[in-house]
Structures are given as C-alpha cells and as structure tokens.
Structure 1
Amino acid sequence: MKNENSQLTSHSIARLFGFTQKEKEVYVRTIRNQNGMELTVSDLGATITSLKIPVSDYSNVDVVLGFDNAEDYEASFSLPSPPFLGAAVGLYAGRINKGIVKFNGRVIQLETNLGMHHIHGGNRNLSNQVWRFKSATLDENPSLTYTFTTPENHGNYPGSTTVTVTYQLLENNALKVTFHATATEDTPINLTQHSYFNLNGHDQAVEGMQLKLYADTFLDTDYELIPSGKFIPVKGSIHDYSSIAECPKSIDTTFVLNQPLAATLFSPKNQLRMDVFTNQPAVHIYVGGNCFNQIKGKEQSNYHPLSGICFETQNFPDAPNHKHFPNALLKKGEAYLQETLFQFKKTTAL
C-alpha cells in the first residue's frame, strides 16, 4: 500500500526506510548545513533517526540513538518499556494521573497505558503514526517539516488536533525544533521531542559526560512518578546539577525552568558541548534507551539503560490536574507553539 510520502520531492534527499505492519511506506529524509552537520528524519513518528555533528575536519559523531529501519521503530513500541527513540511525542507528553483530565466542567477519561495512568498520548500516539511530509528547504539553514492530524476524539482527546513539526539546521550548528498545533475543540496538549543524546557517540554510554541544569526546583512525585503538586529545591538534593556534575546513571525527573537556557551536556571524549534552550516551563531529564536485547540499535548497537539522556522540553506532567501548574489546555481557534534549540559547539572544557 502506498501513501502520500511515496511522492518523492526534489527538495530533499529521501530514501525508503521500510514498511509499517499495515504496509504503509516509510521514508527518511536527510538535510545538511554548510558546516557538514547532518540530520535524518523518518515519516514514522516524525522521528529523528540520526544527527551527525562534525568533531574534526575528517570525522563526525552521531549523537542520537536510533534504529536502522521502520520495522524496528514500530517493533520498539512492544518492548517492556517503549523507548520512543527520537520521536515527536504527544498529544500529552508525560504522565496524567489515572488518565483523568477535568476542564470546562467536563471529565475526560484518556486511555491508561502505563498501569492505571496515561503517558505520551496513549497506545496509538503521535510517535507511532506515519506523518505527512510537508516541505523542505535545502539552502542556508535547511529544514524539514511534517504534519499529522489526529482522528476525531482519538484516544478520547476532544475533537481533532493538527500538529506540525519543523526541524531546522542552523549554520551555527544548532538544531531548532518547532511544534505548531491547532484543535477543533478545547483539548489538553503537551508536545516534546524525545531524542536520546550521547555526545560520546550513539553506541556509547552516558558515563564520562558532564551535565548542568539551569533550574532552581524540580517536581515532587510519588513512587509512580505522578506529581504531588509540590516543588523541591535543587540545592542540596540528589538532583543538584546547578554546577557541572557527572551525568546521572538513573534519573526520571522534571525540572522547573526560569530562563530559556535549560541544560548543558558536555563530552570530554569528543570535546563537544550541547546547550538546550526552550520556551517551555520545564525540562524532563531521563537516562535510558534500553532495548532489552530484543532489538538492535543502528549499526548493530546494543542499547542499554545507560545509552542516552533525554531533554524533554515540555509543560509539567499532569498539569491539567494542578491549578497552580502552567496552563496545558489548547483552546479551539488558538495556536500552540513549542520551540527548542539544541546548540552544538567544540570546546576543550566547560
């Protein structure tokens, strides 16, 4: 079965990446900036499959985890804990307590796909659907744009929501990610990009990298990582990354931001730094990527619990159920905008 994406365009470099279980063709497209930074994105989940950063005149390093074909991406959603490698995530990234959302005098019961809770948009989410390739630019600051419209009341989200994501490579070696969304009815929304980064190389471990977070507090949660509504000071806590520290081996925590600069990651091995900027109120930090020895990563890599670190720039988890959390309701006729910038640079030390 062919889909709209089988119409190749002269505006991007595209190749067949595989087929979904429903026999839909999946393509990947690659763009490069003038410095040799290279980005590859899949139609399936509007997923970043590769991000190569020049580290010398003769070599580059692929800094995101991924798979070699569409079939493996689709299969990864059946793993004991789906990793969402590189995907666009929504309609609501993160957890919603018991899948219940209350607004406008209504009580909405979303799908519960993490025990009794809702996470990352449910079982049929933005990450495992084939998006429509919309456009590309190949000149200065090249870009790729994808769009997806959810079916009416999909997963019990009210109405239909149209999401567009643009990935742009800036000439100063930054990746800019921009989400736009509109909805036919008032609906909860929280979109994010779920790449697992490893500046040592996608087939390495996070050990040896250094991390700094620009946040004063993080969200208190229960044992199921559902926010209590309280904020915990970073200083002196187990999550104190206010100064450069070793990359954590285990973390699944939402940090509250008060400025556009959210985080800095540094690899002494490759002398490569990444700064994360966003217009979102939080960044959720997660270390993982485990594929449970069931699926090989790209280039036959074995991804494990320490393979990569996510910087999920977003609103707060469970925000619709806490009045003092930032608004997470997209109203009919209004526009949602999420912008995140991943800035890369060579440096010998922080």
Structure 2
Amino acid sequence: MKIKEISHLKDSCIMELFGSMHDGEVVDSCELTNKNGMRLKVTNYGATITSLNIPLKNGEFVDVVLGFDTLEAYIKSFDLESAPYFGATIGRYAGRINNSIFSLNGKAFHLNKNNNNNSLHGGNIGFSQKMWRAKNVKKGKNPSITFAYFSADGEENYPGGLSVEITYMVSEDNELIIEYKAISTEDTIVNLTHHSYFNLDGHDSDILEQELIVNSQKMVETTSENVPTGRLLELENNPFDFNNPKKCPSKIDNTYVLEKENEFAASLFNKNNNLKMTVYTNQPGVHIYVGGNCFNTVKGKENANYHALSGICFETQNFPDAPNNEHFPNAVLKKGEIYYHKTIYKFQSF
C-alpha cells in the first residue's frame, strides 16, 4: 500500500492511499495512534472507520470493529440485500422516516424511499457513501482528524444546504471521541450517528458471550417495520431490559431513551480478554443493533465471513422518525444555528 510522506505528522498520524472511486477520485485513509498504541484507521469515503486496534493489559492488541480491507468491498456492500454500513457516518437522518415524508414550516418534504416505503439512514445515497474532505489533522497528544462534507439543498430531497464536520480523536485515555457539527442555509432536520459494529473479542468472532448494559428505563416502541409508533415502553420486566448485565441478544434493533445526564449510555464487556467499552453521549437516545451479515457475498477483513451475530452497534442519536412525533426530542436545525453531537467510546483493559 502506497504511503504518503507527511513528515510533520510523525508517528501519531499516517496517511495512506486506500483506493480510487470508479470515476478515478482518490480515496485516502488516516491512521491515528496514541501513546498507548491504540490505533484508529478512518477513510474519507463515508468518513468511515475501517479498524480500531485496542491495547490489552497483556501487551496484545485486538481490532474491535468490523470492516473491509478494500475500498471496493465497502462500495459493493451497499448492494447487499441489507447494507451493513460498516463504520460509516450516517446522515442526514439516522434511522427511519415513516413513509419517507415529514413536514417543516407547513411544507411537506418527500424523501427518497430506500427501506420499503420508508427512508433509512439518509436515503438512497446518504453520507455513508459520500466523499468527505480531510482537514485539520492534529498530531501528538490526542491526535485527531476532521472530515467535512457539504450536502446541497435538495440532496435526497432534504431542505437547506448543510455543512457538516466530523472529528475523530484518539485520546491518551484510550477513548475514541467523535464530534459532529453542522449548520444549514435553511431550516432542516438533522440526526447524525456512527455505525461501527463492535466486537471486543475481535472482528472475526461473535458477540453472544459478551455482556451488555444499557443505562435506560424506556425504549421506543416500533411497528413490524421498525418504525416508531410514538409510544415509549417501560423496560421493567421487559426482555430488552439491560440495566443489569446480560449476554448480548441474538436479535435487537431498538432505540433506548437516555434520560440520565452525565451518566454512561451503555457498556460492553468481554470476559475472554477482560476488555470493556463504555459509551457516553450528549444525545437523547442510543440505538442498539446486532448484525453484520454479508451473506457470504463480500468478505470481511482478513477474509472473514461476517454473519448476523458478528457485531453490535451503539448508534447514539435522536429518535428515529422524530420529525413526525412532536413529543420526541426536537430534530429541527434552524437556519444558522449549530448542530452539535459528541460521543465517546472508552476502552479499559483489566
């Protein structure tokens, strides 16, 4: 793999050629490394995380996210019967918009349909398939990189030109910190999230023996198509109550309500290597999803066969379909105002 020499970045950041789009546009990746050896690789195609190597107490490393070795595999994965969105940035609106329609300022907006009759994760070609511009690479302590994308007025039929920036940082405390900022030329709706599939036992494994905690008392009720009904369900005596640690379920696709400020949102623990991940966010919800199936069609990293139990997502975000439910948290971004979203994935090895 060709390496671009960027001398002033030294060892904390290495830029590499990752591939080329079908139109010839070059795609790069950046590797950020902290003092402990924690290594993050991210590409400007979809502002996508491709690997995240975490140091263990015994001196070994484990890659805790699913992904592909080549750009071509990422592109092909969006043609699968259920695109996995491995490591991608999701927008303009994460989750489903019911019937692909919402009203804003008295006007109805008809979005592109890509999930039965609904719009999912931004539509036909969301932020996960866009080319982002790398900027503001910072070396040394807490290395970071910022990606920028401009979503034109009318893209996927969303109103307003939206300028988006996402910053990935690897802290000295073994945290992956993700910050999102956006500003629009017109009133619009925004709900951004990150879509890595985590597996603390390594990306070529399953998550069924790992312990999950979700710090929530309620979840969003949904229909058979996973569209919110507008109701919130109490989790007491509910099989999806993970306030106490339980093994990861084989099937889950639920949005949990986060009402406890300054507390963690969720955690995952793998007893095989004593690695723990804790999730913190300023968002009102976290969507938990188990999956990663590539249907034996696209091979994962190191020729892995990803299946329906390969990883678990912690999509910190607003509620799906919030624009169509007035009592859900506000998803409207007013013209000139700033959208800000911060999420931390903290890793601890015991």
Q: Using the alignment, how far apart are the partners of 1:123 and 1:100 within structure 2?
A: 14
Unaligned 5+ runs, structure 2 = none
Deviation at 1:20, TM superposition (A): 1.7
Change in CA separation of 1:7 and 1:222 when aligned onto 2, cut-off 3 Å:
farther
Contact 2:5–2:15 (CA under 8 A) maintained in structure 1: no
Structure 1 CA distance for aligned equivalents of residues 183 and 7 of structure 2: 26
Identity %: 47
Alignment partner, residue 259 of structure 2: 258
Aligned to 1:169: 170
Per the alignment, residue 285 of structure 1 pairs with 288
SS in 1 for 2:217: strand
Q: 1:98 is aligned with what amino acid?
A: N
Aligned counterpart for 2:320 among listed residues 317, 320, 339: 317
> How many Å separate the matches in 1 of 2:109 and 2:136?
35
* Equivalent of 1:303 in 299, 302, 306: 306
Separation in 1, partners of 2:320, 2:23: 32
The one-letter amino acid of 1:269's match is N
Partner of 2:37: 36
| Counterpart residue identity of residue 289, structure 2 | Y
User: Cα distance 1:36–1:163, how it changes in 2: closer, same or farther (>3 A)?
Assistant: same
- CA 1:275 to 1:23, structure 2 compared with 1: closer, same or farther past 3 Å? same
Do the aligned partners of 1:151 and 1:160 also contact (CA within 8 Å) in 2? yes
* Runs of 4+ with deviation above 2 angstroms: 6-12
Q: Distance in 2 between matches of 1:341 and 1:201?
A: 20
TM-score (norm 2): 0.96
The answer to whether the Cα contact below 8 Å between 2:177 and 2:342 also exists between their aligned partners in 1 is: yes
Q: Tell me if the contact between 2:216 and 2:256 (Cα under 8 Å) persists in the aligned partners.
A: yes
CA distance in 2, matches of 1:9, 1:56: 31
Question: Within 5 A, what are the aligned runs for 1:214-253?
Answer: 214-253=215-254
| Residue 145 (structure 1) aligns with | 146
Name the counterpart of 1:156.
157
Which sits farther off after the overlay, 218-227 or 10-19?
A: 10-19
1:131 pairs with 2:132: yes
SS where residue 215 of structure 1 aligns?
Answer: coil
Deviations 1:288-314, CA, capped at 9 Å, x for gaps: 001010000011111000000000000
Alpha-carbon contact 2:57-2:349 (below 8 Å) kept: no
Question: How far apart, in 2, do the equivalents of 1:193 and 1:162 lie?
Answer: 17
Deviation, 1:138, is 1.4
Question: 1:126-148, CA deviations, whole angstroms, 9 ceiling, x for partnerless residues?
Answer: 00011000121111111011010
Following TM superposition, by how much is the alpha carbon of 1:7 offset from its aligned partner in structure 2, in angstroms? 10
| Structure 1: gaps (5+ residues) | 1-5
Matched, 1:25 2:29: no
1:74 counterpart residue number: 75
The residue aligned with 2:212 is 211
Q: Could you list the per-position Cα deviations for residues 268-294 of structure 1 after superposition, in whole angstroms to 9, with x for gaps in the alignment?
A: 011000000000000000000010100
Q: Structure 2 matches for 1:67-106, cutoff 5 A?
A: 67-106=68-107
Query: What amino acid is aligned across from residue 311 of structure 1 in structure 2?
Result: F
Output one character per residue of 1:59-102: Cα deviation in whole Å (capped at 9) or x when no partner: 10000000001111011100000000000000000000011111
**Aligned partner of residue 73 in structure 1, secondary structure:** helix
Native 8 Å contact 1:235 1:242 kept in 2: no
Quick one: distance in 1 between partners of 2:324 and 2:7? Answer: 44
SS of the residue corresponding to residue 78 of structure 2 reads helix
Amino acid at match of 2:272: K
Contact 2:21–2:27 (CA under 8 A) maintained in structure 1: yes
Query: 1:185 maps to what in 2?
Result: 186
What is residue 61 of structure 1 aligned with on the other side?
62
- Normalising by the residue count of structure 1, what TM-score does the alignment of the two structures yield? 0.96
| Distance 1:94-1:8 versus aligned 2 partners, 3 A rule | farther
Q: What RMSD in Å do the two structures reach over aligned CA positions?
A: 1.3
Kindly state the Cα deviation for residue 106 of structure 1 after the two structures are TM-superposed.
0.7
Q: Distance between the aligned counterparts of 2:146 and 2:229, measured in 1?
A: 37
CA distance in structure 2 between the aligned counterparts of 1:31 and 1:183, rounded to whole angstroms: 30
CA shift in 2, pair 1:95/1:7, >3 Å: farther
Q: Kindly tell me the number of residue pairs found equivalent between the two proteins.
A: 342
2:7 & 2:326 partners in 1: Cα distance? 46
